[in-house]
Structure 1
Amino acid sequence: MKHLNYHLIFFLLLIFTNVNGQEKKNFRIHTVAFYNLENLFDTINDPTKYDEASPMMEIKANRSKIYKKKIQNMARVIYDIGSDITHNSPALIGVCEIENSTVLEDIVNDSLLLHKDYAIVHFDGPDNRSIDVGLLYQKSLFQVISKSTHTLKIYDSESHKRQNTRDQLLVTGKLEDETIHIIVNHWPSRRGGEAKSRPKRIAAAKLNKHLIDSLQSINPYTKIITMGDLNDNPTNTSVKEILKAERKKEKVAFKGIYNPFINMFKQSGLGTTAYRDAWSLFDQIMMTKPFLDKDYSNWTYYKAGIFNQNYLVTKKGRFEGYPLRSFADGGFTNGFSDHFPVYIYLIKAIETK
Structure 2
Amino acid sequence: MEYNVENLFDCRHDSLKQDEEFLPGSVRHWTWKKYQDKVNKIGKVVLAASAVQVPDIVGLCEVENESCITRLVRYSPLRDAAYRYVMTDSPDERGIDVALLYQPHTFRLIAYRSIRIPLRKLRRPTRDILHVTGRVVSGDTLDIFLCHLPSRSGGQKKSEPYRLAAASLLKEQTDSVMGTRKDPHVVIMGDFNDYPPDRSIREVLGASRPGKEVEPRRLYNLMDGKKKGTYRYKGEWGILDQMIVSGTLLTGASGITTSYEKARILDFPFLLEEDEQYGGDKPFRTYRGYRYHGGYSDHLPVVLHLDIRE
Please confirm whether the aligned pair reaches a TM-score higher than 0.5, indicating the same fold: yes
- Structure 1 counterpart of 2:239: 281
Cα distance in 2, alignment partners of residues 111 and 187 from structure 1: 28
Tell me which structure has the larger Cα radius of gyration: 1
1:102 is matched with which residue: 57, 67, 80? 67
Deviations 1:92-114 (A, max 9, x none): 01111010011111111134212
- Structure 2 counterpart of 1:120: 85
1:69 aligns with 2:37: yes
* Structure 2 stretches lacking a partner, 5+ long: none
1:336 is matched with which residue: 293, 296, 303? 296
- Structure 2 counterpart of 1:321: 281
SS of the residue corresponding to residue 55 of structure 2 reads coil
Cα distance in 2, alignment partners of residues 231 and 215 from structure 1: 24
Cα distance in 1, alignment partners of residues 24 and 46 from structure 2: 21
- Structure 2 counterpart of 1:14: none
- Structure 2 counterpart of 1:255: 217
Cα distance in 1, alignment partners of residues 213 and 119 from structure 2: 32
Deviations 1:223-255 (A, max 9, x none): 110110000001101100111113124343231
Query: Cα–Cα, structure 1 residues 206 and 117, in superposed 2: closer, same or farther, change >3 Å?
Result: same
Q: CA deviation at 1:40?
A: 0.3
1:172 aligns with 2:133: yes
- Structure 2 counterpart of 1:233: 195
Q: Is the 8 A contact 1:154 1:203 kept in 2?
A: no
Tell which deviates more after alignment, 117-126 or 219-228: 219-228
Query: Cα–Cα, structure 1 residues 60 and 323, in superposed 2: closer, same or farther, change >3 Å?
Result: closer
Query: Cα–Cα, structure 1 residues 253 and 210, in superposed 2: closer, same or farther, change >3 Å?
Result: same
Q: Is the 8 A contact 1:55 1:327 kept in 2?
A: no
SS of the residue corresponding to residue 287 of structure 1 reads strand
1:208 is matched with which residue: 167, 170, 173? 170
Amino acid at match of 1:43: C
User: What are the equivalent positions in structure 2 for 1:5-84 lying under 5 Å apart?
Assistant: 33-54=1-22, 58=26, 63-81=31-49, 83-84=50-51
Structure with greater proportional helix content: 1
Cα distance in 2, alignment partners of residues 62 and 199 from structure 1: 33
Q: CA deviation at 1:294?
A: 2.3
Amino acid at match of 1:278: E
2:179 is matched with which residue: 201, 213, 217? 217
SS of the residue corresponding to residue 163 of structure 1 reads coil
Higher relative contact order (CA 8 A, sep 6+): 1
Cα distance in 2, alignment partners of residues 338 and 213 from structure 1: 32
Q: CA deviation at 1:260?
A: 1.3
Q: CA deviation at 1:332?
A: 2.5
1:301 aligns with 2:258: yes
SS of the residue corresponding to residue 190 of structure 2 reads strand
Q: CA deviation at 1:139?
A: 1.7
Q: CA deviation at 1:58?
A: 2.9
Q: CA deviation at 1:317?
A: 2.7
Number of positions where the alignment pairs a residue of Structure 1 with one of Structure 2: 306
Query: Cα–Cα, structure 1 residues 55 and 284, in superposed 2: closer, same or farther, change >3 Å?
Result: farther
* Structure 1 stretches lacking a partner, 5+ long: 1-32
TM-score, scaled to structure 2: 0.93
Deviations 1:48-102 (A, max 9, x none): 2111134877367671111110100011001111x22xx1121001111010011
Tell which deviates more after alignment, 226-235 or 53-62: 53-62
TM-score, scaled to structure 1: 0.82
Q: CA deviation at 1:289?
A: 1.2
Identity of aligned residues (%): 34
Query: Cα–Cα, structure 1 residues 119 and 36, in superposed 2: closer, same or farther, change >3 Å?
Result: same
Q: CA deviation at 1:44?
A: 0.5
Amino acid at match of 1:193: G
2:149 is matched with which residue: 162, 183, 187? 187
Query: Cα–Cα, structure 1 residues 71 and 194, in superposed 2: closer, same or farther, change >3 Å?
Result: same
RMSD, aligned α-carbons:
2.0
